[in-house]
Amino acid sequence: MAYPPPAEGKKPDAAIRFPAGAVAKFQISDLDFYYGPKKVLMDISLAIPEKTITALIGPSGCGKSTFLRTLNRMSETVRHTRMEGQILLDGTDIKTMDLVTLRRQVGMVFQKPNPFPKTIFDNVAYGLRVNGVPRGMTLAEAVEKSLHRAALWDEVKDSLRKSAYALSGGQQQRLCIARALAVNPQVLLLDEPCSALDPIATAKIEDLLLTLKDVCTIVIVTHNMQQAARVSTVTGFFLLGRLIEFNETRILFKTPARKETEDYITGRFG
Amino acid sequence: MSLRMARRKMVNLLMFTGTGVCAVVSVLALCFILGYLLWNGGHYLSWSFLTKLPTPVGQPGGGMANAIVGSGKILLIAAVTGIPVGLLAGVYLAEFGGNTMTFMVRYAADLLNGVPSIVTGIFAYTLVVVPFHEFSAVAGGLALGIMMIPIVMRSTEDFLRAVPGTLLEGALAIGASRWRGIATVVVPAAFRGIATGILLSMARVAGETAPLLFTSFNNRYWATGWMQPTASLPVMIFTYAISPYDDWQRQAWAAGFVLLMLVLLINICARALLLRGHPTGR
Amino acid sequence: MGTVNTMAAGSRGPEAAADARSFAARLRNGDEIVHLITLVFAAGVCLIVCLLVFELYRNSSVPRHQFGWDFFVSRTWDPVFDNFGALPFIYGTVVTSALSLLLAIPLGVGGAIFLAEFAQPRLSDLLTFIVELLAAVPSVIFGLLGIFVVVPIMRTTVDPILQKFFGYLPLFSGPIYGVGFLTAGVVLAIMIVPYILSVSREVLLAVPPDQREAALSLGATRWESTWQVVVPYAKTGILGSIFLALARALGETMAVTMVIGNDPKISSSLLAPGYTIAAVIANEFTEATGKLYLQSLIELGLVLFIITVILNGLARLLILATTQRGSIRS
C-alpha cells in the first residue's frame, strides 16, 4: 500500500521540532541521496541534539539506514551513490572534513556484529593502533577502559587473547561497541544493532547505551518501536525516503503531529 | 593536521601509487607484447606466408600454409575428442551425479587441469605414437583434447547448475522425461555459457606447443593423412625462433602474429558471447 | 549396474520385478540410457587420469630399477654413457620458479590490491579484462619475445649492472650469456603475474564488506583497512593463488626452454645458463635413443607430475578455505 507523501507546498516543518534547550551536534539541511538514478532520501532537514539518544524509526526500506550512513560518509563506500545537500558537524560541513578524521569522531556499529578475525584484545586495540593511544595511558589500559564502558570487561577479562569469534552474538556486538568507543568518538551511530540478538542481549545493549549518553551523541536506527521508546530522548520517523516527523520521543509517541506517524506507531501501518 | 595523521595519509597515498604502478605495469606488459608483435609480425606477414610451403634455408619467400592447415587439423581432432567427454561429464555432474562419483570426477578433472602440458604430451606419445610407430596429427590432437576436457567439463557443470531448477520442473510438469527436459530446456538455457567454455578451452590449447613436440612433431610438406607427422603453428614458431637464420626468425614473428591474433580473437569472442547473453547463462 | 538389475529381475521375487518394471519404464523414457551414457564419460575422465599415471609409471621402470633414488641426487646427465641423474634439472626448475615468484608476487598482489580496493570499478574491470587476456597469450609467444627482446636486454644492460654492483656475490658472478636462470625467471614472472593478479583480486573482493566498513568507521585510511583487515582476512586465498602460479611456473616448458640456455649444470650464479625438467623433456625427447634415455625423460615427467599435483591440491584447499569462511561465519 502506498502512503500519500506530504501535500505539495505544505512545509513539513510543523512536525519537525528541535528539543528546547538542547545543543545541535548535527545540522542537516536539504539532504538528497541517490543510488544510481534512484532517489532514496528526499529533502531531509533536521538537527540532531548533542549528548542525547536519537532514535530513527520507520518501515524497512524507508531510508533510515541510508541516512545514518551519510552522517559519517560511510555511504560513499557503496558504489554509484550521490549525496546532495549539507550536513554540518559542530558547524563544519562534513564534505570538507577529512574522511579519516570524520569517521574517527563519528563511530559506527553495524547491524550484524562484524568483529575482525583477531583476538578480543586486538579488536578493541585496532582503532587505537591506527589513531594513536590517548595521552597518559598504555594500550592495555585503554583497551580495558573501553571494555569496561561497553560492560564487557567482566565477561572477557580472562580471555582477551581468544578469538573474537568465540564470543556469543550479543558479546560480539558489545565488542564492536567497545571497539568503536576505544577511539573516543563524539558521536556513535548504531544501525539496528540488536536486530540479530536475543532479548537478553538486547537489554544489555540498551542499558549500555543509556550509560553512554552522557559522554556521546548517539543515533540509533531501529525498526523496533518499543526499543525507540525505551532508550531514546528524541525520535525521527522516516517514510519512503522522507523525514515525516521529528520530536521528543514522549511527544512523538503520545501525540504524533501527523497521521502517518500515528498509523505507524499504532501498528495500523502495513 | 597532526604529524601522525600526515604520516598515515602519506602512507595511504604512497600505497595507492605503488599498487597502481603494479597494476599498470602488468597491463603494459600485454600492450607491449601486442604492440611488439604487431610491429614485427605484421611487418613480415605476407600473402605467400599464408599460402606457400616452407622453403629450404637460404631460399627466400615461402610460408607456413601447411602449419596453418596442420594446426586446424590438430584442433579439429582435439575438439572431436575433448568436447564430447567434457560436455557429457559436465552434464553428469550437474544433473545426475551421486556424492562419491561427483567427488571423484571433479578431483580427477582438477588433477588433469594441473598436469603440465608437456606431461600430457608424454602421455599421448605412449598412447598413440608408440603403438603406431609414427608421429601423427591424431596423437597431437589427442594430447590437446585431453587438456580441453577439464575446462569444458567445469564450465558446463557451472553453467548448467546456474539454470534455475524451476525450468526443469516446468518441463517435467508437462510430462517430459527427465533427459528430454535436460536436453531441450536446461542445456539450451545454458548454451551461451557452455559455448563460451568450449571456445575458451580451444583458445587455450590452440597456442600449446609442448605437447605437440613429440606427438604431431613437424613436417616441411603437406601432411596428406591424419596418421602422419603434421606441422603446426606453435611448433613452427619454436623451431624457427631458435634457428640461427634471419629469414626463419622473421617467419617466426609472422607466425607468432597469426597465432596471437587467433587466440585473442577467440578469447574476446567467447567473452562477448557471454556478456551479450541472458542472465540465465550466468 | 542398471543392466545387472534387468538380468536378475526374473529370478528374484515380486519386489525385484516391480523394480524392473519401473526400470524398464524409465529405460523407455530414455532416462536410464542418458544417465548411463553421461556416467560413462564422467568415469572416462577418472580413467584418463589413472591411465596417465599408469603409463608414466610403467614407462619409467628401467631407470627406476637401474638408478633407484640415486636418480634424484646424481648430477650427471650423460646420454653417451647412459648415465642419468635429475639433480641439475630439479635445481634449475626450483631456482627459476623461485625467482619468478620473487618477482611476480609483489607485482601481482600489489596490482590485485589496487584493482580490488583502490581503483574505480570501471577502470578495475577494464584492467582486469586486459590482464586476463595476458593470461591467454600462448607460452611460445612469450618465448619468442624472450629470445629477441628479454635476452638482449639482460645481456647488454641488466646483467652487467647487477654484476657491477653485486659482482662480489656468487649469485651474480661469472661470465654473462644473456640466457640463464635469471632471464628464465623474468620471463616466467611475466607469465604468472596474471594468474596471481586475477585470482587474488577475486579473493579480495570476496572478503565481506562489513570487515572493510568496520575498519573505515574506526577512522582507518583506505590502505590501513586494506592492509590490516582485508588482506589478513584473504591471506590464505592469496597464498592459494601463489601456489597455483607456482605450479604453473614449474610445469612451464616453451618459454623457459627458449631462454634458459639448456645446459645441465648446477651453478651458483643466476647469470649462468641452466636447464629445467620440462625443458629437457621438450628438447631431448625426440632425440632420445635407447630405452634408458627415453625412460629417464619419462621419469622426469613423472616427477614433474607429482610435484604439480601436490601444489595444485594445496592451492585449491587454500582458496576454498578463504572463499568459504565468510559463509560459515554468517
pLDDT at C230 exceeding the cut of 50: yes
Listed as own residue / partner, the contacts of C105-108 with beta carbons closer than 8 Å and 24 or more positions apart are C105/C196, C105/C242, C106/B22, C107/B22, C107/B25, C107/B26, C107/C189, C107/C193, C107/C196, C107/C197, C108/B22, C108/B26, C108/C192, C108/C193, C108/C194, C108/C195, C108/C196, C108/C197, C108/C200, C108/C241, C108/C245
Cα B244 to Cα B248: distance, rounded to the nearest angstrom: 8
Looking at residue A18, its pLDDT comes to 83
| Nearest CA distance, A254 vs chain C (angstrom) | 35
Find which of B28, B33, B43, B122 to mutate to test the C interface (most C CBs within 10 Å of its CB). B122
Residues A132, B9: C-beta atoms closer than 8 Å? no
Residues C144, B108: C-beta atoms closer than 8 Å? no
**B43 at interface of A, judged by CB pairs closer than 8 A:** no
- Average pLDDT estimate for C76-103: 91
Q: What is the DSSP letter of C138?
A: -
| Nearest CA distance, B163 vs chain A (angstrom) | 28
pLDDT at C1 exceeding the cut of 50: no
Kindly indicate the confidence band of residue B278, based on its pLDDT and cuts at 50, 70 and 90. very low
Chain B neighbors of C250, CB-CB under 8 A: 116
Q: Please check whether residue C297 is in contact with residue B118, taking contact to mean a CB–CB distance below 8 angstroms.
A: no
Residues A116, C211: C-beta atoms closer than 8 Å? yes
Chain A neighbors of B4, CB-CB under 8 A: 131-132
Cα A214 to Cα C39: distance, rounded to the nearest angstrom: 70
Kindly indicate the confidence band of residue C29, based on its pLDDT and cuts at 50, 70 and 90. low
Q: Which three cell numbers stand for residue B51?
A: 599460402
Determine the 3-state secondary structure of C196 from DSSP.
helix
Q: Please check whether residue A146 is in contact with residue A212, taking contact to mean a CB–CB distance below 8 angstroms.
A: no
Determine the 3-state secondary structure of C269 from DSSP.
coil
Cα B160 to Cα B162: distance, rounded to the nearest angstrom: 5
Alpha-carbon distances, residue B122 vs B78, B114, B126, B211 (angstroms) = 16, 15, 6, 7
Out of C121, C213, C220, name the one closest to residue A77 (CB). Answer: C213
Task: For B192-202, write each residue's pLDDT tens digit.
Answer: 899 999 999 99
pLDDT at A68 exceeding the cut of 90: yes
**B8 at interface of A, judged by CB pairs closer than 8 A:** yes
Looking at residue A11, its pLDDT comes to 52
Mean of all residue pLDDT scores within chain C: 86
Best CA proximity match to A234, nearest among A22, A53, A45: A53
By CA distance, what is C208's nearest residue in A? A114
Q: Note which residues in 63-122 of chain C have CB less than 8 A from chain B.
A: 106-111, 113-115, 117-119
Give the rounded percent of residues in chain B with a pLDDT score beyond 70.
97
Cα C199 to Cα C206: distance, rounded to the nearest angstrom: 11
pLDDT at B181 exceeding the cut of 90: no
pLDDT at C22 exceeding the cut of 70: no
The per-residue DSSP string of B243-277 comes to SS-HHHHHHHHHHHHHHHHHHHHHHHHHHHHHHHS
Which sign does the torsion angle of CA A241, A243, A248, A252 carry? negative
pLDDT at A9 exceeding the cut of 60: no
Q: Which three cell numbers stand for residue A160?
A: 582477551
Cα A49 to Cα B108: distance, rounded to the nearest angstrom: 65
Give the rounded percent of residues in chain C with a pLDDT score beyond 90.
58
Looking at residue C19, its pLDDT comes to 58
> H or E segment at B17?
helix B3-44
Question: Nearest-5° angle of CA C13, CA C14, CA C20?
Answer: 100
Looking at residue C27, its pLDDT comes to 64
Chain A neighbors of B1, CB-CB under 8 A: 98
Higher pLDDT, B281 or B222: B222
pLDDT at C26 exceeding the cut of 80: no
Cβ-based neighbour number of residue C221 at 10 Å: 24
Q: Note which residues in 211-230 of chain C have CB less than 8 A from chain B.
A: 221-224, 226-227
Looking at residue B165, its pLDDT comes to 81
Task: For B105-114, write each residue's pLDDT tens digit.
Answer: 998 998 898 8
Q: Note which residues in 150-189 of chain C have CB less than 8 A from chain B.
A: none
> H or E segment at B182?
none
Out of B19, B116, B179, name the one closest to residue C308 (CB). Answer: B116
Buried b (16+ CB within 10 A) or exposed e, A183-220: bbbbbbbbbbbbebbeeebbebbbebbeebbeebbbbb
| Nearest CA distance, A237 vs chain C (angstrom) | 25
Give the rounded percent of residues in chain B with a pLDDT score beyond 90.
51
**What interhelical angle do B65-91 and C31-58 show, nearest 10?**
120
Residues A100, B1: C-beta atoms closer than 8 Å? no
Find which of A131, A133, A183 to mutate to test the B interface (most B CBs within 10 Å of its CB). A131
Kindly indicate the confidence band of residue B14, based on its pLDDT and cuts at 50, 70 and 90. very high
Looking at residue C23, its pLDDT comes to 66
- Average pLDDT estimate for C180-206: 93
| Nearest CA distance, A34 vs chain C (angstrom) | 18
pLDDT at B176 exceeding the cut of 80: no
Out of C211, C218, C330, name the one closest to residue A180 (CB). Answer: C218
pLDDT at B11 exceeding the cut of 90: yes
Q: Which three cell numbers stand for residue B171?
A: 518441463
Cα C93 to Cα C150: distance, rounded to the nearest angstrom: 19
Q: Note which residues in 51-70 of chain B have CB less than 8 A from chain C.
A: none
Residues C229, A100: C-beta atoms closer than 8 Å? no
Q: Using H for helix, E for strand and C for coil, what is the string for B32-63? A: HHHHHHHHHHHHHCCHHHHHCCCCCCCCCCCC
Looking at residue B48, its pLDDT comes to 85
Torsion angles phi and psi, residue C179, rounded to 5? -80, 160
By CA distance, what is B18's nearest residue in C? C110
Alpha carbon A53 to chain centroid distance? 9
- Give the number of beta-carbon pairs within 8 Å between A and C: 70
Residues on A contacting B at a C-beta cutoff of 8 Å: 98, 100-101, 130-132
Residue type, B118: I
- Average pLDDT estimate for B144-164: 93
Whole-angstrom Cα Rg for chain B: 24
Report the relative pairing of strands A24-35 and A187-191 from DSSP bridges: unpaired
Helices (H), B133-245: 137-162, 165-173, 178-181, 187-189, 191-206, 233-241
| Nearest CA distance, A162 vs chain C (angstrom) | 16
Buried b (16+ CB within 10 A) or exposed e, B42-53: eebbeeebeeeb
Looking at residue B70, its pLDDT comes to 93
Looking at residue B58, its pLDDT comes to 74
Residues A114, C221: C-beta atoms closer than 8 Å? no
Kindly indicate the confidence band of residue B277, based on its pLDDT and cuts at 50, 70 and 90. low
pLDDT at A49 exceeding the cut of 60: yes
Residues 6+ apart with CB under 8 A from C91: C266, C274
Q: Using H for helix, E for strand and C for coil, what is the string for chain A? A: CCCCCCCCCCCHHHHECCCCCCCEEEEEEEEEEEECCEEEEEEEEEEEECCCEEEEECCCCCCHHHHHHHCCCHHHHCCCEEEEEEEEECCEECCCCCHHHHHHHEEEECCCCCCCCCEHHHHHHHHHHHHCCCCCCCHHHHHHHHHHHCCCHHHHCCCCCCEHHHCCHHHHHHHHHHHHHCCCCCEEEEECCCCCCCHHHHHHHHHHHHHHCCCCEEEEECCCHHHHHHHCCEEEEEECCEEEEEEEHHHHHHCCCCHHHHHHHCCCCC
Give the rounded percent of residues in chain C with a pLDDT score beyond 70.
88
Looking at residue C146, its pLDDT comes to 93
Cβ-based neighbour number of residue B175 at 10 Å: 8
Residues B1, A132: C-beta atoms closer than 8 Å? no
**C30 at interface of B, judged by CB pairs closer than 8 A:** yes
Report the neighbours of A using a cutoff of 3 or more CB pairs below 8 angstroms: B, C
Mean of all residue pLDDT scores within chain B: 88
Cα B95 to Cα B98: distance, rounded to the nearest angstrom: 9
By CA distance, what is A99's nearest residue in B? B9
Kindly indicate the confidence band of residue C314, based on its pLDDT and cuts at 50, 70 and 90. confident
Kindly indicate the confidence band of residue B183, based on its pLDDT and cuts at 50, 70 and 90. confident
Exposed, middle or buried: residue C201 (CB in 10 Å: 0-12, 13-18, 19+)? buried
Cα C209 to Cα C189: distance, rounded to the nearest angstrom: 31
Looking at residue C28, its pLDDT comes to 63
The per-residue DSSP string of B72-121 comes to HHHHHHHHHHHHHHHHHHHHIIIII--HHHHHHHHHHHHHHHHS-HHHHH
Cα B168 to Cα B176: distance, rounded to the nearest angstrom: 9
pLDDT at C200 exceeding the cut of 90: yes
| Nearest CA distance, A126 vs chain C (angstrom) | 8
Looking at residue C330, its pLDDT comes to 28
Chain A neighbors of B8, CB-CB under 8 A: 100, 130
Q: Note which residues in 236-275 of chain B have CB less than 8 A from chain C.
A: 237-238, 241-242, 249, 252-253, 256, 259-260, 263-264, 267-268, 271
Looking at residue C7, its pLDDT comes to 40
| Partners of A248 in beta bridges | A234
> H or E segment at C78?
strand C77-78
Report the relative pairing of strands A24-35 and A38-49 from DSSP bridges: antiparallel
Task: For C285-308, write each residue's pLDDT tens digit.
Answer: 988 888 899 999 999 999 999 988
Looking at residue C13, its pLDDT comes to 45
Looking at residue C170, its pLDDT comes to 87
Report the relative pairing of strands A187-191 and A217-221 from DSSP bridges: parallel
**B44 at interface of C, judged by CB pairs closer than 8 A:** no
Cα A198 to Cα C31: distance, rounded to the nearest angstrom: 50
Higher pLDDT, A7 or C51: C51
Out of A100, A107, A112, name the one closest to residue C221 (CB). Answer: A100
Kindly indicate the confidence band of residue C17, based on its pLDDT and cuts at 50, 70 and 90. low
Cα A94 to Cα C51: distance, rounded to the nearest angstrom: 67
Out of B1, B4, B9, name the one closest to residue A132 (CB). Answer: B4
pLDDT at B126 exceeding the cut of 90: yes
The residue with cell 595523521 is B5
Chain A neighbors of B9, CB-CB under 8 A: 100
Higher pLDDT, C9 or A205: A205
Higher pLDDT, A83 or B166: A83
Q: Please check whether residue C107 is in contact with residue C245, taking contact to mean a CB–CB distance below 8 angstroms.
A: no
Q: Which three cell numbers stand for residue B41?
A: 609480425
Residues C114, B91: C-beta atoms closer than 8 Å? no
Looking at residue C327, its pLDDT comes to 37
Residues C214, A77: C-beta atoms closer than 8 Å? no
Looking at residue C3, its pLDDT comes to 40
